[in-house]
Structure 1
């Protein structure tokens, strides 16, 4: 675990740099990509005065104090009621996080209450990680707003980024008053996000834990969960999964559907904390009004520009969503394709009827022959550095890269397709199926898909880790793995390469010293990677 602790310290040390880099890069040219067509009804109304802002204390669950700010539309009086939007802050962010967007909403006729989530900054209590008390806090804030502002009890919405998104979705399951939600860069499945493939996401947990300790008061329960998580203590796995399920909106899907809130989900292809697949799976199971938007970037970078008060497609669509489902504005958002994707390669928007409709075909790459690798050796293939790598991809189209011919075959299993004469538009979730034989009962591997140019330089398209336990040494077993969803265009003449190795700084690998992994393709169960592709139309 020495290397894991070293990586943990490095990840915590880079979080501030990553956040600062996001603010700087937000002005990069890629942010000026054209937005989808909008109807005239979405134009921002002329302001008739400035909203009023006041800072207040709100009593949360258990009697703690929540520090909050309230925007009220200009000219508001007791004779008129306005739609209410509640904004819980992101993890480790102060209560001023949403001031720019809150003012914009108030100028459009909303009462807006932003509050610091419990346990952070000046709010009372401890960090409960979107536990029951956090959900109860959201309802307490609604109660306060209905009693102390001209908010309409029949037009209540919530929105938020990251932690605020998760709390908003959970609140929609417990509070029937909530009619609309815009959940940006959040999670539907907490464990499926930071423990996908039964592999602890080291840098993600380190950043969350470090930022929480710096800006708030982690509860003893959270401290223990992080300790068990980062030590990869398998004896605590069931407890950790139960803790995460309690904090996952997907657990309360039936309640969310029964309450019927209109839900917009937005995320980035390269989100280091909450990968997009878990949002897509959740979206498909929602039965009420719904919308799914994926854009290039990393955690919260797709909407970060909007927090600074600058033009931003994500926040524009969030406001359109609230306008339609809280104010009844006929802006057409309910008639648009409910799945909106922005390509990492072109910056163009594509609309689809559902997540299932995103790929129009699947292309298989045969993982033929036998590949044997030694574990614990970093081959040079990896998923990059949390935040920074996906931000470089977002703004400069520079994903993590590796020279495929130079990858040591003793540490990395490699397969390549033939060149694609007309290229490939990868859209959706790539799936790997293979047979593994390990000399040890436990182990970790990471699968990567690369776009390989004529000189052998590979650009990372997607990847995902998987960890296995309690396997009989030297006995083959099957592995099925979903790589993180993406939208990436492979140029004509390029190949796709599949690489599997056993070390990646993003994750905690559990490979015993000296272990070896063998990847084979039995005749009765061939190994392959299935790549989702889209024909040249742009969806529907």
Structure 2
């Protein structure tokens, strides 16, 4: 018996086909047709697809294959696909990834069967449409982006890839620095159960996760991570465009910038304000969108041979995460950072201006001090809410904020710089080097960097969690925490502030009430914060 949402998806697809069907036209009219089909994937699993075919153009046509995102179906890209077909002559196949909605099978989390599915969709298109076997591209959002990259590692027919809001390292995304990204994991599992059927591997992973055992998830992650297959991708040499949001709460941008730097293919990187999939979502429906416009130019150049100048442009294109600044371009990721400000942490103390204990970020090393905080209780400092916070930053320029005077200093360490009188631009990935002494073997820390005005109101620039596991209680340990990369314009007169506490609602914390963490700065290894600047 069909699940209700399977029947619903089929009905919606049929309705959309009627809406999108062009009027009867002469053979030489330029347009497109849309057909709902079933394609046999791995293990003969039925994959439901929309096939958008250009009309009025001589073939063969360059082929674009688009796997659906997590929890969505083949309707996701139909607006963009139709534009690609009738404006540029692409043969497009948008299909529902296995395990979701109207497709069969179970959710494999971009496993080998998903890659085989994508290759079989290519096979089907070459056999059943007027697609050109020498001009094949893949594109997708989120889950579809991951499957596209993974397919390009094993199928040299894929000549170009567009990966929007995807991932390169699955473990680093959902388990950053050995800290569970709780809101992400729970949302993905819930959406998977609502919109599809979990495969055997995912069922086992969830069962063990509920028992507190993350090892099965970590075991399957490398096979599902393009970062582990970068040599294969480089060998196949597809042209890869990556588009992502600074505040992506599901797949943070840090691993992707590392992946981008390791690519030796023709490549392009776009980073812009927003959260998971928000920068390109409207473009998927066919509305005007900067990401999709760039992606179309990318495919036009690499699949249609159009001399549109995209190959002469700086490939790294960044839009500041705050304010109304436009795109800034660079020849490579390494050029994003021009200089680095190194701030040494000083002992937190009370003063007339700061009624709670606050340390400084100094130009000179400050050693020999220690400062204790209690663990297991949250403070006002946090990373915001999955999807909502990044969207507010993108559409309303409203950052995740904090009132610094009210951050509980018994529960957090706080260090602040002198004001940047002329302003500054943070550009790259900040790095915090800290010496901490936990009272328990397992302790989570959450590291935040804020831009703070003279009234103590802070805007979150970037953050990162880190969990100490199996540490020796009472023994100091030096840790390096690389925060997620960002471009952030610090207004004139604002300070940079580093906050470290032990709870954050976005993540699972190993910190418990009753524990302590001591911050220090040994003479032979001062604590510091390195801030990349444009």
TM-score norm. by structure 2 comes to 0.89
- Which of 43, 50, 57 is residue 38 of structure 2 equivalent to? 57
Cα–Cα, structure 1 residues 228 and 528, in superposed 2: closer, same or farther, change >3 Å? farther
For residue 5 of structure 1, what is the aligned residue in structure 2?
none
CA distance in 1, matches of 2:494, 2:512: 37
1:128 aligns with 2:108: yes
Q: Does structure 2 conserve the Cα–Cα contact (< 8 Å) formed by 1:422 and 1:493?
A: yes
1:310 shift after superposition: 1.3
Cross-structure match for 2:132 = 152
Distance 1:175 1:395, change over 3 A: same
**In 1, are the aligned partners of 2:377 and 2:513 still within 8 Å (CA)?**
no
- The aligned counterpart of 1:170 is 150
SS at match of 2:140: strand
Q: Separation in 2 of the partners of 1:527 and 1:279?
A: 28
User: Equivalent residue of 2:310, what SS?
Assistant: coil
Q: Distance in 1 between matches of 2:210 and 2:309?
A: 46
In the alignment, what sits opposite 1:287?
A: 264
Aligned counterpart, 2:329 = 351
What is the number of equivalent residue pairs in this alignment? 483
Q: Give the corresponding residue for 1:468.
A: 468
Say whether residues 1:505 and 2:505 are aligned partners. yes
Determine if contact 2:165/2:277 at 8 Å carries over to the other structure: yes
Deviation at 1:460, TM superposition (A): 0.5
Partner Cα distance (1:453, 1:443) in 2: 31
CA-to-partner distance for each residue in 1:45-95, whole Å, 9 max, x for gaps?
Answer: xx9422011110000010010000111111357xx3110000000000021
Q: 2: distance between equivalents of 1:66 and 1:448?
A: 44
Distance 2:375 2:433 in 1: 20
Alpha-carbon distance in structure 2 between the residues aligned to 1:48 and 1:386: 46
> Secondary structure at the residue paired with 2:445?
strand
Answer whether contact 2:428 2:487 (CA < 8 A) is retained.
yes
Using CA pairs under 8 Å that are at least 6 residues apart, name the structure with larger relative contact order, 1 or 2.
1
Counterpart in the other structure of 1:102: 81
Partner of 1:389: 389
Find out whether 1:459 has 2:440 as its counterpart: no
Q: Is the 8 A contact 2:30 2:57 kept in 1?
A: no
1:243 aligns with 2:220: yes
Are 1:66 and 2:44 counterparts?
no
1:116 aligns with 2:93: no
- RMSD of the TM alignment (CA)? 1.2
8 A Cα contact 2:503 2:511, kept in partner: no
Aligned to 2:56: 75
Question: 1:364-389, CA deviations, whole angstroms, 9 ceiling, x for partnerless residues?
Answer: 22222222111111111000000001
Q: Equivalents in 2 of 1:456, 1:110: separation in Å? A: 53
Distance of 2:384 and 2:61 partners within structure 1: 46
- The CA distance in 1 between the partners of 2:179 and 2:207, in whole Å, is 15
Residues 28-47 of structure 1 mapped to structure 2, 5 A cutoff: none
Question: Can you give the 5+ residue segments of structure 2 that lack an aligned partner in the other structure?
Answer: 1-27, 348-369
Hey, what's the Cα distance between the residues in 2 that align with 1:325 and 1:48? 26
Distance 1:50 1:59 in 2: 28
1:302 is displaced (CA, Å) by: 0.5
Q: Which segment is superposed worse, 157-166 or 508-517?
A: 508-517
Alignment-derived partner of residue 494 in structure 2: 494
Q: Distance in 2 between matches of 1:84 and 1:469?
A: 48
Give the one of 137, 145, 151 matched to 2:117.
Answer: 137
Counterpart for residue 89 of structure 1: 68
Provide closer, same or farther for how the CA distance between residues 447 and 175 of structure 1 changes in structure 2, counting only shifts above 3 A.
same
Q: Secondary structure at the match of 1:142?
A: helix
Residue 468 of structure 1, CA deviation: 1.0
Structure 1 ranges of 4+ moved more than 4 A? none
CA distance change for structure 1 residues 232 and 431 in 2, over 3 Å: closer, same or farther?
A: farther
2:195 aligned with 1:215 = yes
Q: Once the 2 structures are TM-superposed, how far is the Cα of residue 226 of structure 1 from its aligned partner?
A: 2.9
Give the secondary-structure state (helix, strand or coil) at the position aligned to 2:312: coil
Distance 2:206 2:496 in 1: 37
1:482–1:232 Cα change, 3 Å: farther
Q: Which residue of 2 aligns with 1:29?
A: none
Query: By how many angstroms is 1:232 displaced?
Result: 3.9
Q: Secondary structure at the match of 2:487?
A: strand
Q: Give distance in 2, aligned partners of 1:492 and 1:278.
A: 31
| 1:344 positional shift | 1.6
CA contact (8 A) 2:57 2:89 kept: no
How many angstroms apart in 1 are the aligned matches of 2:57 and 2:38? 21
Contact 1:205/1:226 (8 A) holds in 2: no
Deviations 1:355-414 (A, max 9, x none): 111010111222222221111111110000000011111111111111111111100100
Deviation at 1:230, TM superposition (A): 5.3
Taking the aligned partners of 2:427 and 2:51, their CA distance within structure 1 comes to 41
How far, CA to CA, are the matches of 1:367 and 1:213 in structure 2?
46
TM-score of the superposed pair, with normalisation by structure 1: 0.88
Query: Structure 2: how far apart are the matches of 1:110 and 1:95?
Result: 17
Task: Please say if residues 343 and 349 of structure 1, whose CA atoms lie closer than 8 Å, have aligned partners that are also in contact.
Answer: yes
Q: For 1:230 and 1:465, how far apart are their aligned partners in 2?
A: 21
Q: CA deviation at 1:178?
A: 0.3
Question: Where do residues 133-532 of structure 1 align in structure 2 (5 Å cutoff)?
Answer: 133-229=113-209, 231-233=211-213, 236-237=214-215, 239-345=216-322, 346-369=324-347, 370-532=370-532
> 3-state DSSP class of the match of 2:447?
strand
* Residue 417 of structure 1, CA deviation: 0.3
Native 8 Å contact 1:232 1:508 kept in 2: no
Q: Kindly indicate whether the alpha-carbon contact (under 8 Å) linking 1:200 and 1:229 is maintained by their aligned counterparts in 2.
A: no
In 2 relative to 1, CA 230–303 (structure 1 residues): closer, same or farther, beyond 3 Å?
farther
